[in-house]
C-alpha cells in the first residue's frame, strides 16, 4: 500500500511540473517572444548613428550656443524625441500627427541655437554593443570636435574679438 501511495504522489508532482512548464512556455510564446522578435527585427542600417544636426540658424554667424540631445539606455534617437500631438478637447477627428521635440518645439524657442542629436546603439537585451558609457562619451566629444572644426559657434569672446578686428 505504501508503494502505491508514493507512486500516486510521484504522478501528482509530475503532472504539476508538466502543467507549470506548459503555462510558462505559453506565457513566453504569447507575451515575451513577440517583444523579442520586434526588437531583433530592427535593421541596423535604419538606425541613426553619430551626431546629426537637426537645425541651425540660416546664417552660421548667428549660432551663439548648441543644444545636443542624447537618448538613454535601450532607446532610439528618433523615438525618444517624438510623441503624439496633443489633441484639442473640442476636436472631433483623431489627429495622428507626431511632434518632434527638437525639430518642432526647441527650434522655435531657440532661434540662435544649433540643435543636434547624438545617436548610438544602446540596446541592452538583443544585439547589445560591447562599448562602455565612457567610450560612447568619447565618441560624442570626437564628433562634436569634428563638427565644430567646420562650423564655428559664436561666443561672447569671439564676438569681442571680431568687433576689435573690424
| pLDDT tens for each residue of 91-102 | 666 667 889 999
Work out the average pLDDT over 51-61: 88
Q: To which residue does cell 504522489 refer? A: 9
Prediction pTM value: 0.61
Cα–chain center distance at 100: 13
Question: What's the pLDDT tens digit per position in 103-155?
Answer: 999 988 998 999 999 999 887 777 777 888 899 999 999 999 998 888 766 66
Determine the average pLDDT of the residues in 43-61.
80
Q: What is the pLDDT of residue 29?
A: 79
DSSP the chain: -HHHHHHHHHHHHHHHHHHHHHHHHHHIIIIIHHHHHHHHH--GGGS--EEEEEE--SSGGG--EEEEEE--TT--HHHHTEEEPPPPTT--S----EEEIIIIIIHHH-TTEEEEEEE----SSSS--S--HHHHHHHHHHHHHHHHHHS----HHHHHHHHHT-
Within 8 A by CB and 6+ apart from 83, the residues are 98, 99, 101
| Per-residue confidence (pLDDT) for residue 92, from 0 to 100 | 65
> Do both 48 and 77 map to the same domain?
yes
Instruction: Judge if 36 and 50 occupy the same domain.
Output: no
Average pLDDT over the chain, rounded to an integer: 82
Residues 121 and 80 in one domain: yes
Structural domain count of the chain: 2
Residue 164 banded pLDDT, cuts 50, 70, 90: low
Pair (95, 128) in one structural domain = yes
Kindly state whether residues 70 and 10 are assigned to the same domain. Answer: no
Whole-angstrom CA distances from 108 to 49, 54, 56, 80, 92 are: 25, 12, 11, 19, 28
Are residues 52 and 107 both part of a single domain?
Answer: yes
pLDDT for position 158: 62
Are 112 and 62 within 8 A, CB to CB? yes
More confident residue, 122 or 46: 122
* Domain assignment of residue 52, given as a range: 44-164
**Whole-angstrom Cα distance, residue 128 to residue 125?**
6
The model's confidence at residue 14, banded by pLDDT at 50, 70 and 90, is very high
Q: Do 36 and 5 reside in the same domain of the chain?
A: yes
Q: Are 21 and 94 in a shared domain?
A: no
Amino acid at each position: 500500500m505504501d508503494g502505491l501511495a508514493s507512486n500516486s504522489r510521484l504522478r501528482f508532482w509530475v503532472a504539476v511540473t508538466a502543467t507549470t512548464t506548459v503555462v510558462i512556455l505559453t506565457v513566453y510564446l504569447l507575451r515575451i517572444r513577440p517583444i523579442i522578435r520586434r526588437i531583433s527585427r530592427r535593421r541596423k542600417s535604419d538606425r541613426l548613428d553619430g551626431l546629426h544636426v537637426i537645425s541651425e540658424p540660416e546664417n552660421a554667424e548667428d549660432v551663439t550656443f548648441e543644444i545636443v540631445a542624447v537618448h538613454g539606455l535601450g532607446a532610439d534617437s528618433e523615438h525618444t524625441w517624438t510623441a503624439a500631438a496633443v489633441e484639442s478637447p473640442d476636436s472631433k477627428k483623431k489627429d495622428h500627427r507626431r511632434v518632434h521635440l527638437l525639430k518642432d518645439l526647441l527650434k522655435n524657442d531657440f532661434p540662435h541655437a544649433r540643435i543636434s542629436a547624438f545617436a548610438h546603439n544602446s540596446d541592452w537585451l538583443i544585439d547589445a554593443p560591447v562599448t562602455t558609457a565612457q567610450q560612447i562619451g568619447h565618441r560624442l566629444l570626437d564628433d562634436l570636435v569634428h563638427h565644430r572644426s567646420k562650423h564655428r559657434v559664436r561666443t561672447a569672446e569671439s564676438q569681442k574679438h571680431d568687433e576689435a578686428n573690424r
